[in-house]
Structure 1
Amino acid sequence: MTTLDWASTASASVSTTFTTGFSSCHVFLSFTEDTRYSFTCLLDLVLKDRGIKVFMDSKKLWLGEAVGSALLRAIEGSKISIPIFSERYAHSKWCLLELVQIFECYKSKGQTVIPIFFHVTPSDVQSQTGSFAAAFQNHVNNFEPGLVKSWRDALRVIGNLEGSIIGPKV
């Protein structure tokens, strides 16, 4: 299945899960720069073409506003979160912070989470192996143990959810 085929299929399934009275945006995309101009932009375009309101982080969005609080509000206001796990995902402190918030909304509000494994395996995410292991070697030395544990817990649970695997590393 090509990226365009997947994005089109995903938009059809995403659009059928919405309820009326929904605020802010329908879908929150969590991703790193290594997928922004390939898969993520295409997914964003296809979803928007289907009338689905998407929150996709952009440097232009943050003029004059605290990034952290705006991201948390965007995640909480979304019906669906789609973390796009790539080789660089666990290297990003921001992505891991987003993922913890996504995990909290999944547990407390029943938010739908659709993980995408882009050139990584679900076991890399769940067990923090491969590129995720390298990222966590650095995190253990630079962040508080409780924070690192929250990142690991979120990766373990969200990585176990049914999602889509895209790319050659399967």
Structure 2
Amino acid sequence: MAASSNMKRNYHVFLSFRGTDVRHSFLSHLYAALDQRGIHTFVDRKELRKGEEISPALMRAIEQSRVAIIVFSENYASSPWCLEELLKIMECEERNDLIVFPVFYKVEPREVRKGRDSYKRAMAEHESKFGKDSEKVKRWKKALLDAGSLSGWHFNDRYVLM
């Protein structure tokens, strides 16, 4: 039996996103749709400052969720906070049977997986800050590859691709 079967689940869904990209557009609609269906969803309502560490409460919220929806947007990878969330989500997916659904919002799945375009630039900035051989950056890249390889939804301005 999986370890997660005994774990208390306080949330049906945990939403991971880059606030500046989607908070007042796509995310607000997604949250409203989940809420209307009675799905208890964790969404961080605070805009985090650069350099601020991910809180233990946020880590617990990920651990106590049944599903994580990762909204990959243009600037998602530029945020160390988002990447730390992603690491925790992927760890819980592997260890605790967390179900993970990626949403590719105005980015191609291959950008996330292969580090192209804005994701390539963001990772280059992290390598510059933390060092090219940084274990942290290597873990972030692996988490992006793993999560970007999951089946999910691709949204652009006109329609949804599955």
TM-score range, shorter chain: 0.7 to 0.9
| 1:92 to partner: Cα distance | 0.6
Q: Identity over aligned residues, as a percent?
A: 40
**CA shift for structure 1 position 23:** 2.3
Other structure's SS at 2:11 match: coil
Q: Which has the higher strand share?
A: 2
**Cα pair distance change 1:126/1:37, threshold 3 Å:** same
Q: Which moved more, 1:81-90 or 1:21-30?
A: 21-30
Structure 2 residue aligned with 1:146: 135
- Asked whether the 8 Å contact 2:15–2:69 carries over to 1, the reply is yes
Query: In structure 1, what is the Cα distance between the partners aligned to 2:91 and 2:16?
Result: 15
User: After the TM superposition, which residues 84-163 of structure 1 pair with which residues of structure 2 at under 5 Å, given as runs?
Assistant: 84-143=71-130, 145-163=134-152
**2:73 is equivalent to residue 80 of structure 1:** no
* 1:42 and 2:34 are equivalent in the alignment: no
Q: Deviations over 1:81-121 (max 9, x none)?
A: 01100000000110000000000001111210000000000
Q: TM-score, normalised by structure 1?
A: 0.81
Q: Aligned partners of 1:104, 1:23: CA distance in 2, in Å? A: 16
How many residues align? The count is 146
1:21-61: CA deviation from partner (whole Å, max 9, x where unpaired): 9621110000012101100111001101100000000129x
Query: Aligned residue for 1:31?
Result: 17
Find the aligned partners of 2:61 and 2:114 in 1 and give their Cα distance: 28
Unpaired stretches in structure 2, ≥5 consecutive residues: 48-52
Kindly report the root-mean-square deviation, in angstroms, between the aligned alpha carbons of the 2 structures: 2.0
Within 2, Cα distance between the matches of 1:38 and 1:67?
24
C-alpha distance in 1, partners of 2:89/2:13?
11
Q: CA deviation at 1:68?
A: 1.6
Q: 1:157–1:67: structure 2 CA closer, same or farther, 3 Å change rule?
A: closer
The residue type equivalent to 2:16 in the other structure is: S
Any idea what SS the aligned residue of 1:26 has?
Answer: strand
> Which TM-score applies when normalising by structure 2?
0.84
Post-superposition, which runs of at least 4 consecutive aligned residues in structure 1 deviate over 2 A?
A: none
- 3-state SS of 1:59 partner: coil
- Structure ranking higher in helix proportion: 1
CA distance in structure 2 between the aligned counterparts of 1:149 and 1:135, rounded to whole angstroms:
13
